[in-house]
Structure 1
Amino acid sequence: MGAVKNIWNEREVAEAPDCSQIQIPTSSLSVDPSLPLPQITPLITELCKDLFEKWSNLDDSCFSVETVSGGITNLLLKATAKEEDGNEVSVTVRLYGPNTDYVINRERELQAIKYLSVAGFGANLLAVFGNGMVQSFINARTLVPLDMRNPKLAAAIARELRRFHQVEIPGSKEPQLWIDTFKFYEKASSLEFDDSEKQKIYKTISFSEVYNEIVELKELTSHFNAPVVFSHNDLLSGNIMANDEEEKLYFIDFEYGSYNYRGFDIGNHFNEYAGYECDYSLYPTKEEQYHFFRHYLGPDKPQEVSDTDLEALYVEANTYMLASHLYWALWGIVQAKFSPIKFDYLGYFFLRYNEYKKQKEKCLSLARSFLSRSEAG
């Protein structure tokens, strides 16, 4: 997409700090996230005492544990310790869902968190343990899908996402979208379910058709020349927190973070307006998207962003939006096999894949028309 220019100059991009010397406490302990809270509490208490020396001699009665959220990948807990001076200190304990290593690169995640934390994103990484991590507690509320339609919040998210995309993370800068999508495809297309009903549904999926869709979309997007940035890749409402009094926004949970195409991160975010229920009537209108783009492209002077740049990013984001559907549809099949969390992952595949097919012709026609005009110009 030759008409799209780099939206920031080299001076704007955050210098990568040297985080290689950062040492954090570690523990070999693991905690089963499927346990009920009364059984998890003493295990989290033991874990905190093992990780943090200043808490090691506190009585177990000084600790309290409560559930923050239980998504479809992880369990988040708030652990609070009453210290000897009477002060209460809280941390967030994230327990990875079982078998999530099939879909998440934990080494890449931990590498990124250190640099993102220094750049002011998310919570500080305090410790890691057998099947999770401990981070500083953020005093803020978690957004719900409808929050993202709020013009003021949408503008704040756009500005924060621009800033996120400017962070430099050491390592390979190769975009991961198609690498991960084909990895999910290989895993998803060679499964067998013990549950006969799931196996019957699984057998209705035409993986040759899915493969051809991936190849076609990959080829088309290769003409975009979309900027490659460090992307969140999972910017749903549950991964955005807001402190309304301080008017401060937080992005959290970087487990899918990687270098990727800018348009994918934005298009994926727009898909998340639909929530887990996949109500795509909530997908942002062109007017709502342009509002987002203005604050992403021109955070200081949003009304001065040109129509040319708005249209270019609109086409880019709404084509990569299709890739988001394919990516998470295949992810759903892998999760259906390996995740113990009670969620209709196979149903999720069909919700995402059917929406992909519904939007495909309109979005691809828009992209091809734009590309042909750009080449002619």
Structure 2
Amino acid sequence: MFKKTTIDPEDLEQVMKVLAKLCSSNVWSNVQLADFTARRFEMGYVNNIFCCEMTEEAHERLINKYSSSAEDNLSKIVIKFTPKDFFIKFKRYEMIAYHTILSERGVLPKLIYFDDDCMINEYIESRTYSYEDDCDSQTVQQLAKTLAIVHSARPPISMNGFELFNKFFDDNEENENNPMISDTINKKYLDLLMKESEEIRNKYYSTFSEIDYKKINNFNKLLLDKIKSPLVFSHCDFNRGNRLVQREPKTGKSRVYLIDFDYSCFFYRGFDLGRYFSNYRHREDMFGDEGFPTDDEMKLFLEAYRNECGRLQGDQYLLNENNSLERLIIESKVFTLMAYSDYFFCLMMYTNNPTGPKKDYFLESAYNRYNAIKKQRKLFTADGTLPMLLDNHDYQL
């Protein structure tokens, strides 16, 4: 139980305004400040997310007064407010469709309310996915099966998200004029680094000055053209913080939920696979540089993923050469390289807030991920992956 409300009065007022929008048969539409406590989730980089927990007395009282269904009137909920002025915006109304479909399939928490400003979901008692989970075969396989359910879904949404994401692989004027990312493309972070301490300049300036965004981007586009990854309904932000692990007390087995589908759309299958393996058995939460699994280690996840896709989509899926285990391994490696390109996001976050509390975190993260690109290109050249796809090409930065 939360001992007290830990959010400031302005946030609490915002929460109360949202709760007042709910149907009157939902107990949360009738709460008073004394009926619940609230706290902010310290996760993510652009989100305002709050967990609200009703007292047992208030929950019982409001259920008896306003509703006959305790199942649909939960004592704990999560309110997530829509990020403002972020660099990519999807069609919000499409989220209703895939949230409904995937919550019915047990992939994500139940959607309770949704509008342009926020969404409310049920609260899942769980913890975020960790290094230890990658070391547990049952949890790895469960995560793979959960992702297979997402990739096998066919929600009735447009290709808008695919088109938006693809723009980031284009060196067009629209990207460079985007105020959220233009300063990063034009290396404003180098000017900012010159104002930092000598220790910070010595550590980062030389490495960051060699980054050639367009060269890396063009290399990624070339790989995309060669690998021809199938389009699936993709999570598109498949990092550890968006995976929740719930341990069943009787069996000890893990159940995995996914959250934060804000950027989900039809996209390349390998996008989520690469994101997973770019952090495989890393102790760093998301932006680490701690090595890459062997092919045999990759098979544990990919075999479970492939078999679940076959169960959901039929034997024809398993017979398709594009879905072979060997193909999935190659595809995962290619998209791991692209996943390491999140160095750009880290530099963008530093550039947009160079004095913020996470300044050191984003600098170190960008440094780690850019160096990881160089290591992985060497690794995937030595194991034959890149030479097989790209003849007579310079694989190094």
Segment of structure 1 superposing worse, 159-168 or 169-178: 169-178
Pair 1:63-2:36 in alignment: yes
Pair 1:255-2:268 in alignment: no
Distance 1:74 1:45, change over 3 A: closer
Q: Which runs of 5+ in 2 are unaligned?
A: 65-69, 312-317, 392-397
Counterpart code for 1:321: T
Pair 1:334-2:348 in alignment: yes
Counterpart in the other structure of 1:355: 372
Q: Displacement, 1:155?
A: 0.7
Counterpart in the other structure of 2:124: 138
Structure 2 counterparts to residues 102-251 of structure 1, below 5 A: 102=87, 104-105=88-89, 107-108=90-91, 110-119=93-102, 120=105, 121-128=107-114, 132-169=118-155, 170-172=157-159, 174=162, 177-182=165-170, 183=175, 186=182, 188-190=184-186, 192=188, 196-197=192-193, 205-206=208-209, 209-245=212-248, 247-251=254-258
Counterpart in the other structure of 2:315: none
Secondary structure of the 2:290 match is: helix
Q: Displacement, 1:78?
A: 1.2
Secondary structure of the 2:76 match is: strand
Secondary structure of the 2:237 match is: coil
Whether contact under 8 Å (1:278, 1:351) holds in the other structure is: yes
Q: 1:311 aligns with which of 313, 321, 326?
A: 326
CA distance in 2, matches of 1:323, 1:122: 26
Pair 1:324-2:339 in alignment: yes
Counterpart code for 1:288: E
Whether contact under 8 Å (2:23, 2:29) holds in the other structure is: yes
Counterpart code for 1:350: Y
Whether contact under 8 Å (2:223, 2:334) holds in the other structure is: no
Whether contact under 8 Å (1:73, 1:97) holds in the other structure is: yes
Higher relative contact order (CA 8 A, sep 6+): 1
CA distance in 2, matches of 1:114, 1:287: 37
Whether contact under 8 Å (2:288, 2:369) holds in the other structure is: no
Q: Displacement, 1:208?
A: 7.0
CA distance in 1, matches of 2:147, 2:128: 17
Q: Displacement, 1:350?
A: 1.8
CA distance in 2, matches of 1:194, 1:37: 36
CA distance in 1, matches of 2:231, 2:183: 26
Counterpart code for 1:310: L
Counterpart code for 2:185: S
Counterpart in the other structure of 2:67: none
Deviations 1:200-247 (A, max 9, x none): 769753477221122123113311221111211221221111221174
CA distance in 2, matches of 1:59, 1:90: 15
Root mean square deviation of aligned Cα: 3.6
Counterpart in the other structure of 1:74: 47
Pair 1:43-2:46 in alignment: no
Segment of structure 1 superposing worse, 86-95 or 236-245: 86-95
Counterpart in the other structure of 1:367: 385
Secondary structure of the 2:262 match is: coil
CA distance in 1, matches of 2:293, 2:132: 11
Whether contact under 8 Å (2:169, 2:221) holds in the other structure is: no
Whether contact under 8 Å (1:117, 1:123) holds in the other structure is: no
Counterpart code for 2:351: K
TM-score (norm 1): 0.75
Segment of structure 1 superposing worse, 248-257 or 61-70: 61-70
Secondary structure of the 2:75 match is: strand
Whether contact under 8 Å (1:65, 1:77) holds in the other structure is: yes
Q: Displacement, 1:191?
A: 6.2
The alignment of Structure 1 onto Structure 2 pairs a total of residues equal to 333
Segment of structure 1 superposing worse, 162-171 or 239-248: 239-248
CA distance in 2, matches of 1:172, 1:294: 29
Segment of structure 1 superposing worse, 360-369 or 200-209: 200-209
Whether contact under 8 Å (1:91, 1:136) holds in the other structure is: yes
Q: Displacement, 1:264?
A: 2.1
Whether contact under 8 Å (1:78, 1:90) holds in the other structure is: yes
Identity rate, percent: 19
Q: Displacement, 1:341?
A: 5.9
CA distance in 2, matches of 1:178, 1:172: 11
TM-score (norm 2): 0.71
Segment of structure 1 superposing worse, 171-180 or 280-289: 171-180
Counterpart code for 1:336: Y
Distance 1:358 1:148, change over 3 A: same
Counterpart code for 1:234: D
Counterpart code for 2:16: E
Q: Displacement, 1:46?
A: 1.8
Whether contact under 8 Å (1:175, 1:260) holds in the other structure is: no
Counterpart code for 1:347: E
